Structure 1
Amino acid sequence: MTSLHALQNGMEHSLETYINRELSLLEFHKRVLAQAKDVEHPLLERLNFLIIFSRNLDEFFEIRVASLIQQMNISGNMATTGPEGMPLGEVLEQISKVVHEAIEEQYKILNHSILPQLQGHGVHYIQHADILEKHKEWIKNYFFNEVQPVVTPISLDPAHPFPRLANKSLNFIVTLEGKDAFGREIDLAIVPAPRSLPRLVKLPKEISGNAEHYILLSAIMQEHISDLFPGMQATGCHQFRVTRNADLTVSEDVEDLAIALKGELSARRFGRAVRLEVNKNCPSHIADYLLEQFELEKDSLYFVDGPVNLARFISNFDLPELRFQPYQQKIPKALYSKKPIFEVLKAGDVLLHHPFDSFKPVTKLLRDAAHDPNVLAIKQTLYRSGADSEIVKILAEAARNGKEVTAVIELRARFDEESNIEVANVLQEAGAVVVYGIVGYKTHAKMILVVRREQDKIKRYVHLGTGNYHATNAKIYTDYGLLTSDEEICEDVHKIFQELTGMGKMAKLKKLFHAPFTLHSQLMELIQQEIAHSKAGKKAHIMIKVNALTEPQLINALYKASQAGVQIDLIIRSICCLRPQVKGLSENIRVRSIVGRYLEHTRVYYFHNDGDTKLYCASADWMGRNLFSRIETCFPIEDKKLRKLIVEDGLNNYLKDNRRAWELQADGTWVQCQPKQDQPVHIAQRYLMNREA
């Protein structure tokens, strides 16, 4: 029995039916990199896509590659990674090959396209090889006044072993000749770049003239590296950067999650090395020496043709013509009136589609609640937010105003742990009740509940969203938010908050699905209903828009739906482990990904249901972690006008995109869509920016 037939009979996946998760994620990063080549994007935005690609790769190595290496150390090279059954060693080999090619392409774009074009606009990046005589006096003064007082050169000798270098820090390895003050002949030293200094320094106008000249800190240090070793001569100076395992592991048996996390955060900077980047001019014997110190193999070494810390290669240029034109966010018509927001929501639900719609209605709901004498309580989940965010300030103010404020803060939101601990402290000091959710289950749901006394009755108001309560993200991420006073939805949200803050059995909800309890089973049932409609000769259609699709059972169910004749359109931003367009398996499935100005983040589930459409928005992607290891919410859109709006704007609009869309092929590759001859260009995000509120 072939693996394809085995799947059709309900057995396990294989490489024929399941794309490796890590390789699929790398394909997404390559789609981001492709934006840096797209001449339709403004020049500085193309540079920004290069930087985003670097940051994405950093996290990919810190989390995903680190996890694979850890698994291989425990289970061996031939242990498999997931449902497709690829050996760990083969996955890491493929990752190394793809990333090496991508990084070569990245620096080619930087050096041969973006930097030369920036020079044409009067912006010059000065690397060490670009230093001119007119720069040298200023560089010398900057080095001795700003750099030398804070830099710490470390010689490598028996008394000074190779230092412990922080994750992603910029460092130099220096080859030396001569004797030091103690008469020692030392041939190697390490110089960490001061983290307190900017990586890009703007040269004064008396040197740069009307142009903008930025010199890299690495160039300044390389120019004067010998001055750090009096009496000795530096014969070579080479940038390098090590990436380390940055995932946090916190036992479920801890007594205080916040204290445990603080301890783990300090360890994150010095986890096991997983990647080494060095400048392309670094001699092979020096690179081999660094690999040995970090206990890495050759395939973990990446030579780069430029700055090794490209993620910090940015500055605030005063060149608006090279940026995306500013976009004025809209306010939905339902909120035009000067009525209190509570009165508006009694009249009907309000839908927000960020960033096209403003985030202000969400903060208005909280602000009105904080100052309304009839409001008794405010409850909110916080996944990613800063202590100085407007929402946190409003919640703190509400607590000081005597409202019963409860904040469920997910401390373990990756790379925001420290910020979330700070948020918890701010709210606790204001008198709010702060809980950290459920140990072992990340609280990823996006919920606000306002409890108000109205004519001797209790009335509830709710905001549910697909994205975080982060005002800055709401300007660059696409997300949906629903403001409602629907009694059953509000009651469901109330019960979920009780689950999060108290003890007891699983809440029985009337309208919401929630993970880790009912969401997965309900999705399986909704897919099965479409299969039944198709087998009965009725129209059957599924449209799903999420960030990632990896959950094997759902993929299997979608394959069965395709085989039953259900039309399936998947809009997946990043990881997609499903193979579309495979004969006999997924011929009725189309998968596309939109990469553009805004980060696609909405989660929308559509089921035709024989004309009685079922439409949901959710905080959850179709991944095992979201469906089984997180607290998630999935909420129905019941208002017919709002439902139609989401179907047209959030789904069909994206299926029409023929410029920023990429389509997944059966072999796992992605092909960018191009408008056909005489066909008008349709860009989904641009359409939403131009539509009326």
Structure 2
Amino acid sequence: MTPADFLKSPLPTPVELPEAQRTGPKRFGNRELSWLGFNWRVLEEASNPAVPLLERVRFVSISATNLDEFYTVRVAGLRELANKGNTSPAADGLTPAEQLVLINKDARKLLQSQQTVWNQLKLEMEKEGITILTRAKLNKADKAHLRDHFMNRVFAVLSPLAIDPAHPFPFIPNTGFCLALQLERERDGAPLQALLPIPHQVERFIALPSKSGKRRFLPMEELLLIHVGQLFPGYKATGSCTFRVLRDSDLEVEEEAEDLVREFEVALKRRRRGEVVRLKISSGAPEELRQVIIDELMITEAEVVEIRGLIGVSDLSELVLDDRRDLLWRKFTPRVPERVQDHEGDMFAAIRQKDMLLHHPYESFDMVVRFLQQAARDPDVVAIKQTLYRTSENSPIVSALCEAAEDGKSVTALVELKARFDEAANIRQSRRLERAGAHVIYGFINYKTHAKISTVVRREGDQLVTYTHYGTGNYHPITAKVYTDLSFFTCDPALGRDATKVFNYVGGYAEPEGLENLSISPLTLKSTLIDNIRREAEFARQGKPAEIWSKANSLIEPDVIDALYEASQAGVKINLVIRGICGLRPGIKGLSENIRVKSIVGRFLEHSRIACFGNGAGLPSQNARVYISSADWMGRNLNRRIETLVEIRNPTVKAQIVDQVMTANLADQAQSWVMNPDNSYTRHPFEENAFNCHRFFMENPSLSGRGTAGAQDVPKLARPND
């Protein structure tokens, strides 16, 4: 199917449901079960024959990491509500307790499937010369090598812990992994129970030497079982098990905290000590040892999951071997936009020529870094303002801001301390910025600042010109290599004024007035979206073309979903690309028969947020109203965060978003799952030459980044009437 074929293809026959399911809470899908559905799709990629073998191992690891985080945050929250007797229903009508039952049932199946997939991958890896050994399969040379490895690289970091009245059960932190031992003293048979917490600092899989060039690995727990005698002299192991602990990791911060940074530092310490929400333990554990672990962690049997196989599947990422390029995605080098090359790397000159939209990771995120590095070193730059939600540990962006501040430029950094699981890193970055002389602000207590904005004010002649960057993703050079996001660069004065007003709002709490090209949550973003949806419905009622295309990570905000339902009933054709959570139910007669939803899961993580409205001319069209955003269509983003929705008016940039980015996403089959009315998904059948949007973007430059070569030779995907 070509892109044009897809855009002309008829909608599936809608299903009929009782009126109660079309008008009551059941018109919405459940958020948590929808998220689990997404993680099933991630795991399915580990069985996809089109994916290289070690990348499939990576998908298993990602699925496990995702599930751990889901339990430490979402399930932990539901568990707390249920324990307090809260029976308030979610949008779909399920109470916290009812959701937990369904979640745990599905999650247990997911855990079993992870083991099944991993066992299959192990067999395939063995055929490729990569073997995971047990201690029973070691030869003399292996054992000699491991003795040296254990004494020189492992022994000093271990803390063997007996469990008896003189040695209370130790604290096991969130994601803590342990080997538990049932021991017997050799001289008199006296029993002893003990724990060996395995530090995160040691590798989970130990590489063994091989003369044949094959790769052989031994899990760390196997190494420890070999050397029990060195850890507990005079004892032998009569039984053992491994277990992993997940704790409540959501943060609570006092609203009236006088020192927000210090309060977050304290809260991070509390996170490590949150209540246990799940214990994963190897099956066949000695019953007495198993019971001690459960009792000491103060959990119920319902929170225990026995695993027949590998505990800590997330650690499989260690086996994605860089030196086996034949088993990985083929290397891809992000492009430097030709227009930037035409200007010899001068970002300001490239932006002055005209607005520019970069599509990451296909266009290099280094251009965003270069934008700020150039600003730091340019004597004509007088001020830089920057939001930081997530960034890398040794962030070149933070380094550029520090350099600018140390050079005497006015630097304002809006650091979001509440970026989940990045709080500690952001505290360190804020301290570093303050030492350099930057003005660091933390925004609102009640709202996360999730907007992605950077402004550079430059003196040009007798004027100050503001160069602005709006992004759909984080200022994180590492994740930018695998997340698909949009970076919009402009020196349009109106967009510069809008960005400045957002910084003033977050820093000074004064609501911005007169925004010219921008909507922000929690003030106007949601209403702008709904107004556009309703405008399309009115066009449909008037008999005009009416279409909506949108792309996001999640769609669960009830008011937005209801507006889309109303538009569908008016005749608006709606195509949605929702990677993860989706609470909308498509293809239901009398409710959503004009709505299609798909999810793309592939080499890159779909992350950009886009909204396109036909504006009386259908799609694709240059008359369309086109927006990029930092916000997903979720209650938290639209009602409880600082987010941006930027209208794109530049014709070339609009064409790039509509004719390239959105059309390719909608036409993708190779990596796509289509949502059914019951919120389940059906994958497109595997076809060798199915259209793959990631491959298309890797092979074709973006329209607005073209330089003197022009955009005429850049493929625009076929329009329906071509």
**TM bracket, shorter-chain basis:** over 0.9
Q: CA deviation at 1:3?
A: 11
Distance 1:236 1:81, change over 3 A: farther
Residue of 646, 649, 669 corresponding to 2:660? 649
Pairing of 1:377-526 with structure 2 (within 5 A): 377-526=383-532
Which residue in the other structure is 2:692 paired with?
Answer: 683
Residue of 33, 42, 46 corresponding to 1:36? 46
Which residue in the other structure is 1:126 paired with?
Answer: 133
Q: Structure 1 length as normaliser, TM-score?
A: 0.94
Residue of 179, 185, 190 corresponding to 1:178? 185
Residue 156 of structure 1 contacts residue 186 of structure 1 at CA under 8 Å; is this kept in 2?
no
Aligned AA (2:428): E
Which residue in the other structure is 1:99 paired with?
Answer: 107
Structure 1 regions of 5+ residues with no counterpart? none
Residue of 149, 171, 174 corresponding to 1:167? 174
| Structure 2 residue matching 1:36: 3-state secondary structure | helix
Q: CA deviation at 1:163?
A: 1.8
Deviation per CA, 1:398-424, whole angstroms, max 9, x where unpaired? 111111111101111111111111111
How far apart in 1 are the matches of 2:152 and 2:406?
47
How far apart in 2 are the matches of 1:35 and 1:129?
32
Q: CA deviation at 1:99?
A: 1.3
Q: Which runs of 4+ in 1 moved over 6 A?
A: 6-9
Distance 1:4 1:497, change over 3 A: farther
Aligned AA (1:534): A
How far apart in 2 are the matches of 1:670 and 1:93?
22
Residue of 611, 620, 639 corresponding to 1:628? 639
| Structure 2 residue matching 1:617: 3-state secondary structure | strand
How far apart in 2 are the matches of 1:642 and 1:61?
40
Which residue in the other structure is 1:343 paired with?
Answer: 349
Residue of 224, 228, 232 corresponding to 1:229? 232
| Structure 1 residue matching 2:84: 3-state secondary structure | helix
Which residue in the other structure is 1:328 paired with?
Answer: 333
Q: Which stretch shows the higher mean deviation, 360-369 or 17-26? A: 360-369
Which residue in the other structure is 1:241 paired with?
Answer: 244
Pairing of 1:41-440 with structure 2 (within 5 A): 41-76=51-86, 79-111=87-119, 113-178=120-185, 185-205=190-210, 209-284=212-287, 286-313=289-316, 314-315=318-319, 316-338=321-343, 340-440=346-446
| Paired residues, number | 679
Distance 1:284 1:643, change over 3 A: farther
Aligned AA (1:685): H
How far apart in 1 are the matches of 2:176 and 2:88?
32
How far apart in 1 are the matches of 2:667 and 2:470?
28
Q: Structure 2 length as normaliser, TM-score?
A: 0.90
Q: CA deviation at 1:600?
A: 0.2
Question: Residue 662 in 1 paired to residue 668 in 2?
Answer: no
Q: Which stretch shows the higher mean deviation, 507-516 or 568-577? A: 507-516
How far apart in 2 are the matches of 1:571 and 1:80?
30
Q: CA deviation at 1:344?
A: 2.6
Q: CA deviation at 1:434?
A: 0.7
Structure 2 regions of 5+ residues with no counterpart? 1-15, 618-622, 703-722
Residue 373 of structure 2 contacts residue 400 of structure 2 at CA under 8 Å; is this kept in 1?
yes
Residue 386 of structure 1 contacts residue 392 of structure 1 at CA under 8 Å; is this kept in 2?
no
Question: Residue 615 in 1 paired to residue 615 in 2?
Answer: no
Deviation per CA, 1:162-188, whole angstroms, max 9, x where unpaired? 2211111111221123389xx994442
Residue 387 of structure 1 contacts residue 426 of structure 1 at CA under 8 Å; is this kept in 2?
no
Distance 1:516 1:5, change over 3 A: same
Residue 386 of structure 1 contacts residue 423 of structure 1 at CA under 8 Å; is this kept in 2?
no
Q: CA deviation at 1:529?
A: 0.4
Aligned AA (1:161): P
Distance 1:141 1:563, change over 3 A: same
Q: Identity over the aligned pairs, expressed in percent? A: 37
Q: Which stretch shows the higher mean deviation, 340-349 or 658-667? A: 340-349
How far apart in 2 are the matches of 1:654 and 1:426?
40
Aligned AA (1:149): A
Residue 46 of structure 2 contacts residue 59 of structure 2 at CA under 8 Å; is this kept in 1?
yes
How far apart in 1 are the matches of 2:21 and 2:41?
30
Structure number with greater CO (CA < 8 Å, separation at least 6) is 2
Which residue in the other structure is 2:30 paired with?
Answer: 20
How far apart in 1 are the matches of 2:338 and 2:463?
29
Residue 501 of structure 2 contacts residue 512 of structure 2 at CA under 8 Å; is this kept in 1?
no
How far apart in 2 are the matches of 1:387 and 1:214?
29
Residue 370 of structure 1 contacts residue 397 of structure 1 at CA under 8 Å; is this kept in 2?
yes
| Structure 2 residue matching 1:468: 3-state secondary structure | coil
Q: Which stretch shows the higher mean deviation, 513-522 or 324-333? A: 324-333
Residue 385 of structure 1 contacts residue 423 of structure 1 at CA under 8 Å; is this kept in 2?
no
How far apart in 2 are the matches of 1:169 and 1:240?
8
Which residue in the other structure is 2:708 paired with?
Answer: none
Q: CA deviation at 1:477?
A: 0.3
Q: CA deviation at 1:117?
A: 1.6
Distance 1:648 1:284, change over 3 A: farther
Deviation per CA, 1:116-154, whole angstroms, max 9, x where unpaired? 221222212223454345422332333344433332222
Distance 1:230 1:522, change over 3 A: same
Q: CA deviation at 1:317?
A: 4.1
Q: CA deviation at 1:52?
A: 0.5
Which residue in the other structure is 2:581 paired with?
Answer: 575
How far apart in 1 are the matches of 2:91 and 2:603?
33
Q: CA deviation at 1:226?
A: 4.2
Distance 1:4 1:500, change over 3 A: farther
Deviation per CA, 1:35-59, whole angstroms, max 9, x where unpaired? 0001111111000001111110110
How far apart in 2 are the matches of 1:586 and 1:127?
54
Aligned AA (1:172): L
Q: CA deviation at 1:663?
A: 0.8
Distance 1:426 1:141, change over 3 A: same
